[in-house]
Structure 1
């Protein structure tokens, strides 16, 4: 099984080079967090098919070029961004997944509109996405926001996912701390402890000390 880089050096080091090809990844995060930076990195490292259910394609494309200069702009050209704009969002998602290039990355940002639908149909969608990702030897990333009115199908997302990234953002005094917990990693080793990240205009390790 091939290992595919994530585009985030600290994660690639922790995971022995990246994520196993064919993986479905769920990134859970607060809506007010900087989780888009992680999604952008995952999107830019390879050819990508990006389905946006909330933001406009123009907004997504602008974000993909923010923090990487010429290299980011070149990678963004390899990304095809589509929005859910048809009568059937499931057909939109399957169309994007079927177009996934070899070793490419599929992003669904965010997955809540699909989780809100009937469970059997959502489970079928995820299984079909997995099949397309397996055939392409790529990865799929499901951006899953916490809070609000999370539907009962979030458990389906977490069950189907091979890898679960749980980004936890806390505010204490003047500090904003972002910790990435990886409780699930099929085909690899989950992190034994949270990884403190610095999310500004890029993604790096936060080396500042916690103050009790």
Structure 2
């Protein structure tokens, strides 16, 4: 599933609600991990306790790949926002997507992203 919406919109609350369903890896590319955690804690909706990691800065595709490789079976992956990852070398981004697909299939995970 791909959810594309403006940051700080109602869709962000939806992403936060997704964290309640099962273990979640929440990768942020534009905000600090603490900013995401603070946003989750401020919501009035039911949320889980996601593993939030900031993959922005240097080598975000490499950081994201390493973290995605740790996804437990049946986990949810949220990438907020994916646009910043798409800006890197097209071949590297394509490899990232292929590796992501392999991990998702092997773990039975679901995925959501904004951007």
Normalised-by-shorter TM-score class:
0.7 to 0.9
Structure with bigger RCO (C-alpha 8 Å, 6+ apart)? 2
Which of the numbers 7, 18, 23 marks the counterpart of 1:47? 23
What does 1:17-96 align with in structure 2 at a 5 Å threshold? Answer: 25-31=1-7, 33-65=9-41, 66-68=43-45, 72=47, 75-76=48-49, 79-85=50-56, 87-96=58-67
Contact 1:50–1:81 (Cα < 8 Å) also in 2: yes
Contact 2:82–2:113 (Cα < 8 Å) also in 1: yes
Aligned-partner Cα distance in 2 for 1:41–1:32: 14
Aligned-partner Cα distance in 2 for 1:115–1:124: 11
Q: In the TM superposition, what is the alpha-carbon distance from 1:64 to its structure 2 partner?
A: 2.2
Contact 2:68–2:103 (Cα < 8 Å) also in 1: yes
Q: In the TM superposition, what is the alpha-carbon distance from 1:32 to its structure 2 partner?
A: 5.6
What does 1:124-203 align with in structure 2 at a 5 Å threshold? Answer: 124-144=95-115
What does the per-residue CA deviation read over 1:13-33, in whole Å, with 9 as the maximum and x for residues that have no partner? xxxxxxxxxxxx211113463
Indicate the structure (1 or 2) with the bigger Cα radius of gyration.
1
TM-score (norm 2): 0.87
Q: In the TM superposition, what is the alpha-carbon distance from 1:105 to its structure 2 partner?
A: 0.5
Following TM superposition, where does structure 1 have runs of at least 4 consecutive aligned residues deviating by more than 6 angstroms? none
Structure 1: 5+ residue runs without aligned partners?
1-24, 145-212
Instruction: State whether structure 2 residue 73 is matched by structure 1 residue 102.
Output: yes
Aligned-partner Cα distance in 1 for 2:15–2:104: 17
The structure whose residues are more often helix, as a share, is 2
What does the per-residue CA deviation read over 1:112-167, in whole Å, with 9 as the maximum and x for residues that have no partner? 111111222111111111111111111121212xxxxxxxxxxxxxxxxxxxxxxx
What does the per-residue CA deviation read over 1:62-121, in whole Å, with 9 as the maximum and x for residues that have no partner? 2223223xx63xx21xx1111025631111110111111110011110011111112221
Relative to structure 1, is the Cα distance of residues 58 and 32 closer, same or farther in structure 2, using a 3 angstrom cutoff?
A: closer
Number of positions where the alignment pairs a residue of Structure 1 with one of Structure 2: 114
